[in-house]
Amino acid sequence: MRFETLAIHDGQTPDPGTGSVTVPVFQSSTFEREDLYHHREFFYSRIGNPTRQALESSLALLENARFGLAFASGVAATMAALQVLRPGEHVVSGIDIYGGTYRIFEQLLRPWGISISYAEDESTESYEACIRPETRLLWIESPSNPLLGLSDIRALSAMARQKGILTAVDNTFASPYFQLPLELGADIVVHSTTKYLGGHSDVIGGAVVMNDAALHKTIKNYQAAAGAIPGPWDCWLVMRGIKTLKIRMKEHEVNAMHLARLLEAHPAVERVSYPGLPSHPHHDLAKRQMTGFGGMLTFALKGGLPAVETLLGGLKLFTLADSLGGVESLVASPSKMTLGALSAEERRKRGCSDNLVRMSAGLEHALDLEADLLQALAAITK
């Protein structure tokens, strides 16, 4: 079946007991056992819940995966995926990554005796230069956050497999509609379902999907033991979002492309990073490994931080907020918000300058967003 049919039907079949076409919210912490020595499929909701199982099935199907696991947040999902690591092992990560992932690497993994190296750029050669005998995992964000850089997932996965190294891809920015990393050779895919999969800025969640049974067992055991699971209502909200993922992603992309072209031609803008623009250094790679360019863009203003402050203060339809992927358009200053906890030197290494603005294009009318953006930019050029 095709993507939009899977998103609506598979994993979300009518309830056999009532015929409800929407998966029920099984708001129960525990389930009756058959007797002292036997229990049904579900017996305690930390271990398994029917609503969560429906979401996990749907997540796996969207990524063309065998297994899906749901978590209480995107960072909980990241932490679960990293349970494939043991003390003494090594991770090679892209340098432009979500700040929460960087905190996990530096504040949690290093004290456990796991070392991390950051590739200088998105190229396969840059990752390969960091590999050591003890390297266990490549961690890739593509498109990356916040600079929208792309890595060649197929090439990196093939290189890693030859060396006995696992590859994990954070697919949050692209969503399963625009990119399928497992089909490109990755071993693990991670999502913040808070973002495009949920899509309405009303739920926090995460997901890990994979094909390998041994990886699934390791990560599922962690899910049950650590308990960072989403409640059934949160699972239901993500499933509701998934049903409209295709139509939302297509409209996010239309608006993002419109705004990217507008910004690229504006005199107040130094540069725009959007994979759909021919000027993007990885535009050809985006056309090869993605089926669309997504709803995220980043741009740099010529006036530095004062220009950013003027722009953010003047926008009316774009909400200043830390998240992304919702139906409403959001805007953020990476250096002051998403990567604000990093030192100035660390931000410099990552190319995160004070004049950067990250924008999540929502589903408003493109011309209304254009008018709002132009009036705010006009204040910079006065």
3-state helix, strand, coil in the chain (%, to 5): 40, 15, 45
Hey, which residues does 135 pair with through a beta bridge? 90
Element (H, E) at 282: none
Query: Which structural domain range is residue 375 located in?
Result: 246-381
Say what the pLDDT of residue 11 is. 63
Q: Does residue 299 share a domain with residue 163?
A: no
**Residue 201 predicted with pLDDT over 60:** yes
Tokens of 313: 């203060």
Element (H, E) at 289: helix 283-289
Say what the pLDDT of residue 9 is. 64
> For the chain, how many structural domains are there in total?
2
Q: Does residue 235 share a domain with residue 355?
A: no
Over residues 5-21, the mean pLDDT reads 70
Using DSSP's 3-state secondary structure scheme, residue 58 falls into helix
d(CA 235, CA 24): 10
**Residue 8 predicted with pLDDT over 70:** no
CATH code for the domain in which residue 33 is found: 3.40.640.10
Q: Does residue 275 share a domain with residue 309?
A: yes
Q: Any idea which residues carry the catalytic annotation? A: 46, 98, 170, 195
Q: Does residue 68 share a domain with residue 82?
A: yes
Hey, which residues does 208 pair with through a beta bridge? 69, 190
Q: Does residue 281 share a domain with residue 236?
A: no
Say what the pLDDT of residue 33 is. 87
What is the band of 252 on the pLDDT scale with cuts at 50, 70, 90? very high
Say what the pLDDT of residue 343 is. 78
Q: Which of 218, 243, 268 is the last residue of a domain?
A: 243
Over residues 198-205, the mean pLDDT reads 97
Q: Does residue 74 share a domain with residue 48?
A: yes
Q: Which of 225, 243, 261 is the last residue of a domain?
A: 243
CATH code for the domain in which residue 286 is found: 3.90.1150.10
**Residue 5 predicted with pLDDT over 80:** no
What is the band of 12 on the pLDDT scale with cuts at 50, 70, 90? low
In tens, the pLDDT along 135-174 reads 999 999 999 999 999 999 999 999 999 999 999 999 999 9
In tens, the pLDDT along 214-230 reads 999 999 999 999 999 99
Q: Does residue 339 share a domain with residue 200?
A: no
Q: Does residue 134 share a domain with residue 15?
A: yes
**Residue 10 predicted with pLDDT over 70:** no
Tokens of 206: 């995460």
Q: What average pLDDT is seen over the chain?
A: 93
Q: Does residue 196 share a domain with residue 225?
A: yes
Q: Does residue 18 share a domain with residue 64?
A: yes
Q: Does residue 168 share a domain with residue 38?
A: yes
Q: Which of 198, 213, 243 is the last residue of a domain?
A: 243
Q: Does residue 265 share a domain with residue 229?
A: no
Average the pLDDT over each of 32-46, 119-133, 305-319, 345-359 and give the range with the smallest value. 32-46
